[in-house]
Structure 1
Amino acid sequence: MTSQIIKLTYVNGRGLAESGRMIMAAAGVEWEERHLADKSEIEQLRKDGVLMFEQIPLLQIDGLNLVQSSAINLYLANKYNLAGKTAAEKATVNMVLEGAKDFGVYGTIPFYPKESQEKVLNENKKKAENRYLPAFEKVLADNNSGYFVGDSLTAADIVVFEKLLPMDEYLPDLIPAYPKLHIFFDKMKNNPNLSAYLSSNKRFPQPDDAYVAGVLKILYT
């Protein structure tokens, strides 16, 4: 009996699908991708009724058509035992996931007008320093296992790591200022499955003007 193919449909870049990709990579599972290249393709998906809210990413898995990145992440976390072991751990994983989602804005900076990108980056640097990075540091210090929740890898670790990566591309001096977070970041980079993913052709480069133009054409024009 052959295993069911997992299929991810999104645009040709990181975006809202990247955290799901990294959860699957960390879990050691394979998936196929369809990259939309034209507005007519997403319109057809809407007509087909597989997009509950007419948005992507779309993850087709276990006979389900999953949309909304948070729902996709939670499904994958539960399916691959990365959601926490107890009710309390599961709740903490969810809290960290929501905080990471609010924090993870650095991948959107190329979508701002050129003249405002530096301002947006500086504003989010202040938010990172005043709110998110100290919170991440405290959670790691309080848990004292090297992970955000419990004593083993969870989706909380994976998604925080995924959101830290683009920040580190823009602001490489920030993470080293937080000792626990710095150790965590290096450990995640050295995770065999994540390291293999980051060096593979499934990992997209930092968004550029061509990517931005393509996304706008497919989703917003």
Structure 2
Amino acid sequence: MAGRVVLHYFNGRGKMESIRWLLTVAEVEFDEVFLTTRAQYEKLLSDGALMFQQVPLVEIDGMKLIQTKAILKYIADKHNLYGKDLKDRVMIDMYSEGLMDLMELIMVLPFTQDVKSKLDNLESKARERYLPVFEKALAGPVYLVGGKLSLADVLLVESTLMLEEKFPAILSGFPNVKAFQGRMVQIPAIKRFLQPGSKRKPQPDDNYVKTVMEVLQFTRANFP
């Protein structure tokens, strides 16, 4: 369909999943082209579609965008999910970049050689560095910034659900964050996204890991 958003990535979460979440909350329909072979990736490279030879790649509004943060900011700004002024936006950016750092710790787990150590590090940082920030920020406000839904809120609910997949009771000591998550999952677009059959991707499995490693030509040695 002309003008429809197209996502080029693997059939899994990775760095594209936050983009899927944000498009869903913005109620923007999108198509997906899944990378399954090295030849597909090399075709994108030869076509000049990947500015820094990286995915995710999002085709939107006649542009081919890469770099996850840039894509998220563009979509958020376009759909009124990026605050009302510069002060709102810098707060949204700080929260969002912290959450993306946290989710990066989760994303690398399937590729790492020392899963137990990485899980312990993830849990420690989540409890001591990241969740306390949001517990404090949500002591009263419904949303993180400016009294309205933003990119930061979308990333927070995504990351808390990812954390609970690894540590089911992790939010027990963070009641404000847990209450926030409960409100967010009742938003109709999010509620649909969490249902079976949506475009939300499951936790990475061996097939996903194998595909990523073959297409990008790296091994677990890249993730000590």
TM-score range, shorter chain: over 0.9
Q: Number of paired residues?
A: 216
Aligned position for 1:135: 133
Provide TM-score, normalisation by structure 1: 0.94
What is the CA deviation profile of residues 76-124 of structure 1, one whole-angstrom value per residue up to 9, with x for unaligned ones?
A: 00011000012211111111111111111213211112xx212110111
8 Å CA contact 1:107, 1:166 repeated in 2: no
Residues of 2 paired with 1:198 and 1:73: CA distance? 20
Aligned position for 1:110: 110
8 Å CA contact 2:99, 2:156 repeated in 1: yes
SS in structure 2 at match of 1:44: helix
Q: Which of 194, 199, 223 does residue 198 from structure 1 map onto?
A: 194
Residues of 2 paired with 1:140 and 1:19: CA distance? 21
Residues of 2 paired with 1:146 and 1:47: CA distance? 47
8 Å CA contact 2:24, 2:190 repeated in 1: yes
Residues of 2 paired with 1:218 and 1:166: CA distance? 25
Aligned position for 2:42: 43
Aligned position for 1:120: 118
Provide TM-score, normalisation by structure 2: 0.93
Aligned position for 2:181: 185
Aligned position for 1:152: 148
SS in structure 1 at match of 2:64: strand
8 Å CA contact 1:7, 1:31 repeated in 2: yes
What is the CA deviation profile of residues 120-162 of structure 1, one whole-angstrom value per residue up to 9, with x for unaligned ones?
A: 1011111111110101111222xx3211111111000001222
Residues of 2 paired with 1:188 and 1:209: CA distance? 31
Find out whether 1:98 has 2:94 as its counterpart.
no
Q: Alpha-carbon deviation of 1:39?
A: 0.6
Q: Alpha-carbon deviation of 1:201?
A: 3.2
Identity %: 38
